[in-house]
Structure 1
């Protein structure tokens, strides 16, 4: 199956998230309503690994008729306390991309924007069928790092997850959604088989396994807009603005990187 697939990108789920996490959060009620929409419309959530394997297999591993991916970035505690029960109610699978240096407990280096998962909660998510993927160790802008730090952020994230869960992750999501050829190469070298960007568009096989696009779900995503996202219909004004900002900021980042090289 080569049809575009909606990959939904969530962050925090909670009624009162910290101000820094608020805009990219959703309320527990909104999340439950959105999962009900997926169920009513016949979508079947699959993990990031399932999608990657299906698109690489040449038809040997198939996707359901209406696949969708439910993904969470960073590793906020609300994914366990609020999202997991809703996912379990519908029998839905998801992928949580964790920044290992942000999670509570071992390996914590600080810098998190809100209350994060602890490792016992991560293990409980994995036991419930949630895929645990990498999201770098300290959530930096990977394309702004030198080669040594880039390698550390990807491989250390992989190693910490393998240590805590007993198996290395094979899926990755770029912090802030940005990457370049060098970053994608580092992610591949670290052993990840597929990686997700943002892009605010549906994912397609032609994008390649290391640049699959996602759709941002945020606090201001209304019910009608959510339905249009998953159905691939015309974009709303808010979503079109997100796409324009994503493209514009990528230009700024390239210019910033080029200026840094000149100064050196």
Structure 2
């Protein structure tokens, strides 16, 4: 799971960005090790149908829709012939639906279309990037439907895949994603995706600015993942309890003015 690919990101996106040079080295390593990148829809479709995956499959994803995915990542992906999936927050992209609040320079719609024409699967990532598990039902549905409708209108094809903002979901959120028409969805979890996770809770591992090439190799080989992301997992579990308590409190007390 990538976010921004940028030489000089701003403070808000720096920790979860990678430099163009680091991204190029990581993709070259995947090629050298014989990995075969697949798209999100291809992965889920293979697991649903029972079709075998190619040897050493790997899923390359980008969240949010930062401009550097087009400027820096796309040429590297094209060099290796690698597919990938980009999950966009439609209200953050530059253009007529921009709601403001994007943390850095985002893609415009021409760039999104060029990415789609270049073999990058475009998936949904909500409209305004909220914590979906904290939203009331009507607002949750709006975020999912608005994102899907805009992508369908702009690209001529509704997205099949979704990624939860911040990686947060719940049984209610996953059901809403399915009912909206998405065929599969990705979380974070910092673990390998496995068929038993189900099509709406597939896990990914985070690639950060501080991820060195040796650590990257260990992760893609599936080695020492639990140790590498131990702190992340502990924080995720703790914060899940906090978020659950917050939502339960709102349901008991009702909305505030």
Q: TM-score, normalised by structure 1?
A: 0.94
Asked if 1 retains the 8 angstrom alpha-carbon contact of 2:187 and 2:202, the reply is yes
Give the match's secondary structure for 2:113.
Answer: helix
Match of 1:122 among 89, 102, 112: 112
- Supply the distance in 2 between the matched residues of 1:185 and 1:110 (Cα, whole angstroms): 28
Q: Deviations over 1:4-24 (max 9, x none)?
A: xxxxx0000001111001111
Secondary structure class of the residue paired with 2:60: strand
Residue 51 of structure 1 corresponds to: 43
Residue in structure 2 matched with residue 143 of structure 1 by the alignment: 133
Q: State the alpha-carbon separation in 1 of the partners of residues 162 and 188 from structure 2.
A: 12
Residue in structure 2 matched with residue 6 of structure 1 by the alignment: none
Q: 2:67 aligns with which of 61, 70, 77?
A: 77
1:152 aligned to 2:142?
yes
- Pick aligned residue for 2:32 from 19, 30, 40: 40
Task: Report Cα offsets for 1:139-170 as digits up to 9, x if no partner.
Answer: 00001111111111001100000000000000
Deviation of the 1:237 alpha carbon: 5.5
Indicate the residue corresponding to 2:76 in structure 1: 86
Cα distance in structure 1, aligned partners of 2:75 and 2:212 = 22
Structure 1 gap segments, 5+ residues each: 1-8
Q: How far apart, CA to CA, are the structure 2 residues paired with 1:41 and 1:244?
A: 31
Q: 1: distance between equivalents of 2:234 and 2:20? A: 28
Q: Is the 8 A contact 2:90 2:151 kept in 1?
A: yes
Cα distance in structure 2, aligned partners of 1:37 and 1:249: 34
2:245 corresponds to which of 255, 258, 262: 255
Are 1:24 and 2:31 counterparts? no
- Measured after TM superposition, the shift of residue 262 of structure 1 is 2.3
SS in structure 1 opposite 2:13? Answer: helix
In 1: Cα distance, 2:8 partner to 2:103 partner: 13
RMSD of the TM alignment (CA)? Answer: 1.0
